[in-house]
Amino acid sequence: MMKVPSLNVPGLRRRKADGLPGVTAVARIDRRTKRLTKRLKPGEIAIIDHVDIDRVSGEALVACGVAAVVNAAASISGRYPNLGPQILIDAGVPLIDNASPELFERIADGDVIRVHDGMVYLGEELVGKGQPQTAESVEAAMTEARAGLAVQIEAFAANTMEYVRRERDLLIDGVGVPDIRTSLENRHALIVVRGYHYKEDIATLRPYIREYRPVLIGVDGGADALLEAGYAPDIIVGDFDSVSEKALCCGAELVVHAYRDGRAPGLERVHKLGQEAVVFPATGTSEDIAMLLADDKGATLIVAVGTHWTLDEFLDKGRSGAASTFLTRLRVGSKLVDAKGVSRLYRSRISTPSLLLLVATTLVTIGVVLSVSPIGQVWLNGLRVAWNGFIFWLVGLFS
């Protein structure tokens, strides 16, 4: 069993109305969790429709300071042991599963609702109910999901073969990779996805970024992650459904991820902002095409932040796109390094103690040279005269 660290959220506001039990707060409602977390404020209740809440979504909800989560779907369907529900429960966030789908019609965004024992109230009216989850129920569901993991691995293998059939020209020969202005030839590429522990990874890579100055590639919200860390992305890749307008207008080169038939919904948003972009049609995920782009354009090393690496993380994506992620890593494997590996292996060529020792040694050397040479004696006498004059002037101010 993978251990999920407990995440405590300070300042979680759980209000009680007229002494009624449960959590009473403003409701934020959206069927897409990723979209909801952009406007969710601490102490609010999230109403979502998310089958198999993944780890990234669970961490994002906790980071927003959510007071409770009402899910119209099964947070753990049993397909695979997804980690999101356990993260919510470990953080002390009430979780209600399989809630009444009518909640999306009966509750408006911004309504004040009360959640208690699986019941959802709007004022005094009961508008929906579901199954409250506990640490025990989540653990039981995870155990059952692990028992059926072999079936998911078989499906994963089948998806992998299907992806090879559809994208063999792209994977083998790079057919379909668009031309871009930014040069990656013989440079490092740092690809940032707003995924697992991306903030910590970027922080550990600061010395590496400062010394090697890699081409910074943000994948959708990864571009905002770079901006938040104080860096300007050179390239932004994605379908642009989860990246801010600020990032899209920051001057980076834009690469729109399109469907294989050429449809690119993100291109319309780019044009509305008055920006230009190139289109990259591919079946895989946006982080996959970012890696294929960097590899095709001659990057000597690809450092990945927030991307998927383990089998749990591949399955945690909850879609057949995991096959493309797996095969893309095989394609660029000789160049690809996880950010955590870089932070462990890389050390700045000049450490702080070494630099201080160098400065101290230099000062001592200068002092010895000045003390034994005739010219040094003249300089030292001049410094003594100047120092004595300064002390005389300073004493005169107070006499």
Written as one string, the DSSP assignment of 355-380 is: HHHHHHHHHHHHHHHHHHSHHHHHHH
pLDDT at 197: 75
- Whether the predicted pLDDT of 62 surpasses 60: yes
Cβ neighbors of 274 (< 8 A, separation 6 or more) are none
Cβ neighbors of 350 (< 8 A, separation 6 or more) are none
Q: What is the mean pLDDT of the chain?
A: 82
Which amino acid makes up residue 20?
A: L
What residue spans define the domains of the chain?
23-146, 149-345
- Whether the predicted pLDDT of 307 surpasses 80: no
CB 57 within 8 A of CB 3: no
- Alpha-carbon distance 17 to 26, whole Å? 12
Which amino acid makes up residue 347?
A: R
Best mean pLDDT range from 1-5, 18-22, 221-225, 336-340:
221-225
Q: Lowest mean pLDDT: which of 37-51, 74-88, 329-343?
A: 329-343
Order of strands, sheet of 301-305, starting from the edge strand that comes earlier in the sequence: 278-281, 253-258, 235-238, 215-219, 188-193, 301-305, 336-338
Token digits of residue 81: 């042991």
Cβ neighbors of 46 (< 8 A, separation 6 or more) are 27, 28, 29, 33, 36, 40, 61, 64, 66, 68, 69, 70
Residues 103-109: contacts with CB within 8 Å, 24+ apart?
A: 103/29, 103/47, 103/70, 103/72, 103/127, 103/128, 104/29, 104/31, 104/47, 104/49, 104/72, 107/27, 107/29, 107/47, 108/29, 109/27, 109/28, 109/29, 109/30
Residue 147's CB is within 10 A of a number of other CB atoms, namely 11
pLDDT at 344: 57
By 3-state DSSP, what share of the chain in percent is helix, strand and coil, each rounded to 5? Answer: 45, 15, 40
Cβ neighbors of 336 (< 8 A, separation 6 or more) are 291, 302, 304, 329
**Across 229-255, average pLDDT:** 94
pLDDT (tens digit, 9 = 90+) per residue, 139-157? 999 888 887 767 766 776 6
Report whether CATH 1.10.10.60 matches the domain 23-146. no
pLDDT (tens digit, 9 = 90+) per residue, 87-126? 999 999 999 999 999 999 999 999 999 999 999 999 989 9
pLDDT at 173: 65
